Structure 1
Amino acid sequence: MTSLDRLLCSVLAAVLLLVSAWFGIRHYGAEQYQVGHAAAIAAGRAQLERDTAAARKTETDLRAQLRAKDDAAFTKEKEYATNLAAAQRRMRAGDDRLRCPGAVPAATQSGDRSAAAGLAADGEGPEIVPEVAAEILGDAADVAGLVRRYERVVERFEACRTVNEK
């Protein structure tokens, strides 16, 4: 064997060693990548499960609070309806009465003084027909119910917004 043959064999052996090292490193790197990728996915799933459990607990607590408030509001609404029915019954029977405010003069007075000197005291003015008085109470109760429902909606919105800010 000549020195040229030995040199070619050495170069060929070095190239084969480099190619096999390159394939070994790629294989090892791919395995490590897969192991790391699998570990990251497992950690992400575990974190997702913890976050989901925490969100479900928060949602359950909020739903329980809102359910308790709804139950209390329903009880109050039933009480308001009972009280309204009793008040309307008393109005229709003539036990309670509503009166119009005292008459306000329509003509203006001369000078700096206004025509109306103020509201009339309670008990002055004509009585309202009992059936109409009962209807007025019903209308007032309807408006009050709308206000209470609106306040409950705002309260729910604020509770949900507080939960979302956490």
Structure 2
Amino acid sequence: MMRAESILAGLVVSAGLLVLGALGVIHYGGQKYEAGYNAAVADGEQSRKDAERIARETENDLRNRLRAQDIAAHRKEQEHATRLEAAQRRVRAGVDRLRCPAGPVSVAAASGDRPVAGGPASDGQGAELVPEVAADLLGLAADVGGLVRRYDRLVERFEECRAVSAK
């Protein structure tokens, strides 16, 4: 009986040691897993912060470039407005005159869907426009030119933004 008891006690001690060993391995593995997880989270946060900093710098660079372009465009628009006012004053005063074409515009040389003008009429031909109407016509032409310039700026901005986002 002693022998059976000593074998049983050895088995109980061995089983206890195995359980303690397994718990130790699980605990050690859990600590290593937790340390690895925390390191991965820290690396991810640092990567996110770096990407955020780079994105902020890129955005600021783009904003500065666009601001400079807006300032230049505003100056040009002011210059166009000043020139338009001067041209309208000259037309209203009768210094400059706008004339209608003397004859019909030739469409014989038209290509595709674009009409071709017959060329400039020589001075003295065609009826003169009333100065106030001529000034209004210059204003309408300037409005169309402004729309075209704004559209071109919009396309340029879009292309720059798309180039930045493609990086």
Indicate whether the TM-score tops 0.5. yes
Structure 2 vs 1, CA of residues 87 and 120 (structure 1 numbering), >3 Å: closer, same or farther? closer
1:38 and 2:38 matched: yes
Q: Does 1:148 align with 2:149?
A: yes
* Cα shift at 1:119: 5.0
Q: Does 1:137 align with 2:129?
A: no
Matched, 1:82 2:82: yes
Tell me if structure 2 keeps the 8 A contact 1:97–1:127. yes
Moved over 3 A (4+): none
Q: Residues 37, 120 of structure 1: CA spacing in aligned structure 2 closer, same or farther, 3 A cutoff?
A: closer
Secondary structure of 2:79's aligned partner: helix
Amino acid at match of 2:98: L
* 1:89-125 residue CA offsets vs partner (Å, 9 max, x unmatched): 00000000000001339xxxxxxxxxxxx45623221
User: Does 2:163 match 1:162?
Assistant: yes
- Does residue 100 of structure 2 align to residue 97 of structure 1? no
RMSD: 1.4
Secondary structure, aligned partner of 1:4: helix
In the alignment, structure 1 segments of 5+ residues that lack a partner are 106-117
Rounded to whole Å, the distance in 2 between the matches of 1:104 and 1:39 is 81
Shift of 1:85: 0.3
SS of alignment partner, residue 160 of structure 1: helix
Identity of aligned residues (%): 52
Distance 1:62 1:24 in 2: 56
Q: Please give the alpha-carbon distance, in whole angstroms, between the structure 2 residues aligned to 1:98 and 1:89.
A: 13
Task: Report the counterpart of residue 29 of structure 1 in structure 2.
Answer: 29
Post-superposition CA distance 1:139-159 (Å, at most 9, x none)? 000000000001111100000
Q: Secondary structure at the match of 2:5?
A: helix
**TM-score where L is the length of structure 1:** 0.89
Structure 1 residue 45, shift from structure 2 partner: 1.0
Encode CA deviations 1:35-61: one digit per residue, 9 max, x unaligned. 111111111111111111111110010
TM-score by length of 2: 0.88
